[in-house]
């Protein structure tokens, strides 16, 4: 028996900060984006002048005005899991610190990463044809699923594979949180497993075995002593990091472990490829069994492109590097220069006190609306 659910109606013409709260109130943890995708699609279908395509829980909406320049505005619909800490403010539904909707800080999961940016996209789409007006550029809006999980599940990656020609453009803006400053390019990221092997034995007779967890100590020592580099790429300084992020070993409290796996994450500057990054990690951990399990290339800033330069000038703030990996890298692989620009402090993303200021969302909308009109 099929259970029918009532579709969620989104008012994408309301104040953009209130729209952000409405988006946050729809639980959209990775893998659970369908309800939000349905609501976004239904809202976009009310706007004349947009051509829509849906693929799974990813949606594209395009203008076809014949403009000489096409801009892509992209954002992901999913969030990381909800916090489990009692009293956390990073919850669903959202809450207003002031108690007055639309005023001050908005708390909840996705506040910064990245429901504010998605709300800005929807608000732009809703109003770009108001009063007979038309944007000065053709625009492709992209809303996609599964950004916060492994790259093979990415909704944007699926759109690239299935509808890559519809993602062609002159410039792309990913509305990730940047505190309202343009952040160029992004670091690459790669994950590795370093494995040590021992011999199992009863812990009461430990001398009969070989402890694989103890054997992993030099791996942790090298990582702890490692000094990450800062690399200048096209005028922006990208800080790298190389860390153990998980360790797994042992089978029981009375057994000497015969295997231990240290999981490692390397965030590398966009001056190097994933293969070059791997070579660097292997050199540091020479003598150990190291396997790369995942990798995504970074993206150079691309701020010398005319469209990027005009956008930076319109925003008016000094551009910064993006330290984390974002989907600007996918656009870079497509030959589309891309930057990050959105409301909210990126340092608050995924935290239990994740929040965004209402006026920051409004200012982001104002800046993009003004630039698109030129």
The catalytic position among 33, 38, 78, 183 is 78
Active site residue 354: no
Task: Kindly state the tokens that stand for 58.
Answer: 């990813």
Nearest residue to 174 via CA among 165, 184, 187: 184
Q: How far apart are the C-alpha atoms of 89 and 108, rounded to whole Å?
A: 6
| Residue 26 and residue 39 in contact, taking contact as beta carbons nearer than 8 Å | yes
What value, to the nearest 5°, has the Cα angle with vertex 149 and ends 82 and 352? 25
Q: How far apart are the C-alpha atoms of 135 and 369, rounded to whole Å?
A: 9
For residue 112, the 8-state DSSP code is: I
The catalytic position among 113, 147, 327, 345 is 147
Q: Peptide bond before 114: cis, by omega within 30 degrees of 0?
A: yes
**What is the CA 69 to chain-centroid distance, rounded?**
26
| Residue 246 and residue 291 in contact, taking contact as beta carbons nearer than 8 Å | no
Residue 158 to residues 72, 180, 210, 338, 367, Cα–Cα distance (Å): 17, 29, 46, 19, 30
Active site residue 78: yes
**Catalytic (active-site) positions:** 78, 147
């Amino acid at each position: 028996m099929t259970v029918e659910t009532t579709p969620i109606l989104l008012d994408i013409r309301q104040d953009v900060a209130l729209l952000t709260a409405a988006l946050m109130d729809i639980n959209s943890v990775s893998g659970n984006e369908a309800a939000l995708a349905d609501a976004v699609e239904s809202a976009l279908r009310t706007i004349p002048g947009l051509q829509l395509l849906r693929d799974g829980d990813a949606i594209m909406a395009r203008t076809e005005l014949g403009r000489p320049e096409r801009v892509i505005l992209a954002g992901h619909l999913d969030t990381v899991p909800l916090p489990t800490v009692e009293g956390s403010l990073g919850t669903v539904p959202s809450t207003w610190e002031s108690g007055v909707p639309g005023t001050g800080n908005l708390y909840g999961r996705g506040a910064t990463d990245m429901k504010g940016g998605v709300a800005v996209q929807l608000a732009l789409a809703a109003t770009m044809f108001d009063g007979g007006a038309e944007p000065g550029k053709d625009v492709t809006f992209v809303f996609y699923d599964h950004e916060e999980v492994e790259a093979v599940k990415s909704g944007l990656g699926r759109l690239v594979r299935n509808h890559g020609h519809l993602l062609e453009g002159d410039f792309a803006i990913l509305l990730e949180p940047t505190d309202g400053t343009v952040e160029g390019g992004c670091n690459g990221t790669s994950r590795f497993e370093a494995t040590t092997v021992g011999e199992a034995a009863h812990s009461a007779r430990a001398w009969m075995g070989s402890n694989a967890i103890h054997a992993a100590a030099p791996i942790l020592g090298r990582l702890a002593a490692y000094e990450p580099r800062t690399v200048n790429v096209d005028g922006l300084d990208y800080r790298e990091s190389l860390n153990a992020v998980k360790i797994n070993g042992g089978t029981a409290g009375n057994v000497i472990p015969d295997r231990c796996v240290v999981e490692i994450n390397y965030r590398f500057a966009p001056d190097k490829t994933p293969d070059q990054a791997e070579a660097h990690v292997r050199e540091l951990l020479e003598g150990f069994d190291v396997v790369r399990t995942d990798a995504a290339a970074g993206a150079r800033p691309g701020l010398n492109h005319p469209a990027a330069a005009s956008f930076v000038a319109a925003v008016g703030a000094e551009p910064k590097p993006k330290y984390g990996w974002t989907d600007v890298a996918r656009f870079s692989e497509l030959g589309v220069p891309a930057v990050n620009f959105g409301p909210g402090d990126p340092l608050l993303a995924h935290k239990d006190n994740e929040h965004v200021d209402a006026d920051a969302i409004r200012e982001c909308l104002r800046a993009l609306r003004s630039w698109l009109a030129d």
